[in-house]
A and B are shown apart, each in its own frame.
Chain A
């Protein structure tokens, strides 16, 4: 499933329009702990979190994640956005909780591959 399809289907707000939204999404991982994501997320996964600080971009970049969705109306820090654009990591935001968002992603047919 392409990232752009997910963005359109769930009305996610794209905070980094310049980043690559055409990437293939291979699954998703929900966590607010950096080492948990480092250890358990896989290539092409979407990362769902409430963390908004700069270091999420380093984690997403090192793990080749397809993007980060910030839930609960969290707003990315300004330096986070700058780094996201520089590293080509798409950031999306939503007022939904992680639980609701994941339910909808499952409903769209997204599964971990």
Chain B
């Protein structure tokens, strides 16, 4: 299988294009013949990270690296940062404003959904500067 890498740029509050990066990534993985079950996990995790950038940050970018062994996704944003990452990882905890919740976002399930679907997840954040979410999904040996 070939390797691949690339980047998508994300604009904060751009709900019109929300999900476009994750959709494009899904298409790339399908084109590479990645197993459907793996693509489902990547799609969930990538979408949640993409939406976090759109909801909370001014801008950000999603880098992907695909090798025969694994898929690595890194989403870096210029956002408010997360003061307490342990709290943000708890299901149901959210700081989203009301209008975001009315759209059905901000249910406090984003980071937990990423954790559940990734083989490894790291979240680094500096308040006032931004957040970097990086996760891996393994492609071997069972795929």
Contacts and interface: CB of A to CB of B under 8 A. Distances in A.
A58 B23 contact: yes
A109 interface: no
Q: Size range of the interface on B?
A: 20 to 34
Contacts of A51: 103-104
Given A53-B15, A55-B19, A58-B19, A33 B44 contact: no
B16 A35 contact: no
B90 to A, nearest CB: 14
A34 interface: yes
Interface of B: 15-16, 18-20, 22-23, 26, 36, 40, 43-44, 47-48, 51, 103-105, 107, 109-110, 113, 116
Interface of A: 31-36, 38-39, 43, 49, 51, 53-56, 58-59, 61-64, 79
21 contacts: A33-B105, A33-B109, A34-B51, A34-B104, A35-B113, A38-B48, A38-B113, A39-B109, A43-B40, A51-B104, A53-B103, A55-B15, A55-B18, A55-B19, A55-B104, A56-B104, A58-B20, A58-B47, A61-B19, A62-B44, A64-B40
